[in-house]
Structure 1
């Protein structure tokens, strides 16, 4: 228990033998329960999880769940619960399994620490503080806040993260959020009960998808500064499939969020600006290319197409400004006090 709140931790793991055991061993003592989910690994990850869980549980104090026996007694639950999928579902699927177990046990705050050793369990208190203290319903790590924090990140990884950050800002509506792929997170029980967790993406776009759902339900979030940390672990992301799948997911979720928040729930003129901007940009590019291909030189039609493209860019920019203003309250600055009654 931490500051009067019960804390659960989900540890998704896929082929993390040699790393996941240390993650389990180094979880802070205030963690009430850990749900270590093996996503049908093909190495010794599951055996390592079982051995470590048995060792930690044997020396842990008795932990009780919120379930009740028929005779009125409480149900004993081990501090470390080892779970194995019957098939590979993806990191998002593993997290969803852990979330479901944590909700069943009545955890107040549920964090996620990946099983690859890239996340330092000793800073877990910093990650969950915004949720425990009522400032946010969701908190996540941010490795892009300063040059020192980005030092362990390769140039390619930093470039990709920067591009994905901007796209996720546009799609999710959290314009002051950075490092959306950071999986070191904490979420409140209220948020888990409100959003449709089963609908979330099972793959590596899970974190981006979760942000969109949180925004649709007007949930506050907060970034927590942390250093990037990389070791000998191997990335399981296949960029040839990850990029197109995530792009399609972001497109779908963008249409869903803007329609849900600004058409269905409460109409906002920004949808006109966004629609005109995107349609105009597409038409402008098409006619500019057609004019150049037909005449071989820059024509009057080509110049008009450029003007249309510039105006379209202005419309899209205005739509983004309105979206940022509409969501400003969902990402208060750290020094802005937010009580539980304001959430």
Structure 2
């Protein structure tokens, strides 16, 4: 009897040819890109590029309208370098976002932000990207306050001066404020610009909404929290050799509180009233009015007592104090909820699981 044939293949019962087996292509190495925003860094950018380790696939140097020609100094230093030029200065955020866009367009999987002034040691790039490559985080940032347990091979000894005490104190104060703004209560040193971001995290946010100015590091953490991205701290040292910051203290003191307050209110509104409504939402709805009502009533009775010269009774005082105490407890419970519910499952892992 002849073997039957179907329309799509060889005779039924005939052995399958060897070349018909499905051959899976071996997984490629992850593409790690580095973005270097460059402004007034012509004297240091070449040295920074030369120290970038071989695991980096491509380097994007963004000349942010630099009058010193930082982009010109970067050309020809390494075959991996691509120089991008902004016709005018956009700030560290604007330059970094330009590099992010080019890296994504070229197919990068992880993008590291590295400053051009030499304060960030490129030898620590493997340590910085490790949580992302292992699928434990979407965004990793340096932490200059955590102790280093091991120095990577090829890294120079810690010969440069540590962070100046005044700068360290200011960073500690800002760290607490940034935690409330961004929602990442477990991280330290949030203004650290030595960062690495996964492609999935970059694609989950709208870069056009992220600030271009010095607020960039805080603002990108804020947007990542809205997207439920996982952020890890990585102990990394910084090198200080007397560099002068270009940040205007006066402008910072005026603009930062406004930017921080707007991001905090927006995060609370989105996370607890638009994306979800949970026990913390109810605590906020009850706690804030109680505190305000008690404070307003207490102030009114205090002013009335001053005008009349008659002291308020204990019952009147308690009538003002009790809403404040109860409302404060509710707000404290909402804060505890916010601290305990930081994102824990990386966006890249959720994408692979189809979640």
TM interval, short-chain normalised: 0.7 to 0.9
Alignment pair present for 1:81 and 2:82: yes
1:49 to partner: Cα distance: 3.2
Alignment pair present for 1:26 and 2:51: yes
Q: Which residue of 2 is the match for residue 201 of structure 1?
A: 211
Secondary structure, aligned partner of 1:327? coil
Paired residue total: 310
1:279 to partner: Cα distance: 4.3
Measured at CA, do residues 51 and 159 of structure 1 come closer, stay the same or move farther in structure 2, by a change above 3 Å?
closer
Q: Which residue of 2 is the match for residue 314 of structure 1?
A: 329
Measured at CA, do residues 304 and 17 of structure 1 come closer, stay the same or move farther in structure 2, by a change above 3 Å?
farther
Q: Which residue of 1 is the match for residue 9 of structure 2?
A: none
Alignment pair present for 1:262 and 2:272: yes
Rounded to whole Å, the distance in 2 between the matches of 1:158 and 1:282 is 35
8 Å Cα contact 1:134-1:340 kept in structure 2: no
> Whose Rg is larger?
2
1:83 to partner: Cα distance: 1.8
When the two chains are superposed, the root-mean-square deviation of aligned CA atoms in Å is: 2.8
8 Å Cα contact 1:134-1:339 kept in structure 2: no
1:51 to partner: Cα distance: 2.9
Q: Which residue of 2 is the match for residue 152 of structure 1?
A: 162
8 Å Cα contact 2:96-2:113 kept in structure 1: yes
Q: Which residue of 2 is the match for residue 11 of structure 1?
A: 36
8 Å Cα contact 1:271-1:319 kept in structure 2: yes
Secondary structure, aligned partner of 1:329? coil
Deviations 1:20-59 (A, max 9, x none): 22212211122111111122223x2x2x4323322x24xx
Among candidates 237, 258, 261, match of residue 227 of structure 1: 237
Rounded to whole Å, the distance in 1 between the matches of 2:324 and 2:231 is 34
Deviations 1:307-327 (A, max 9, x none): 544433322211111112222
Rounded to whole Å, the distance in 1 between the matches of 2:202 and 2:81 is 21
Deviations 1:283-318 (A, max 9, x none): 555555555555459845566545544433322211
8 Å Cα contact 1:292-1:302 kept in structure 2: no
8 Å Cα contact 1:25-1:52 kept in structure 2: no
1:113 to partner: Cα distance: 0.5
8 Å Cα contact 2:45-2:73 kept in structure 1: no
Rounded to whole Å, the distance in 2 between the matches of 1:306 and 1:159 is 35
Q: Which residue of 1 is the match for residue 202 of structure 2?
A: 192
8 Å Cα contact 1:170-1:320 kept in structure 2: no
TM-score (norm 1): 0.81
Q: Which residue of 2 is the match for residue 137 of structure 1?
A: 138
8 Å Cα contact 1:21-1:49 kept in structure 2: no
Q: Which residue of 2 is the match for residue 70 of structure 1?
A: none
Secondary structure, aligned partner of 1:270? helix
Q: Which residue of 2 is the match for residue 51 of structure 1?
A: 73
Unaligned 5+ runs, structure 2: 1-27, 150-157
Measured at CA, do residues 340 and 127 of structure 1 come closer, stay the same or move farther in structure 2, by a change above 3 Å?
farther
Q: Which residue of 2 is the match for residue 271 of structure 1?
A: 281
Rounded to whole Å, the distance in 2 between the matches of 1:249 and 1:19 is 32
1:182 to partner: Cα distance: 0.5
Alignment pair present for 1:168 and 2:182: no
Unaligned 5+ runs, structure 1: 61-78, 332-337
Secondary structure, aligned partner of 1:229? coil
Runs of 4+ in structure 1 deviating by more than 6 angstroms, as ranges, are: none
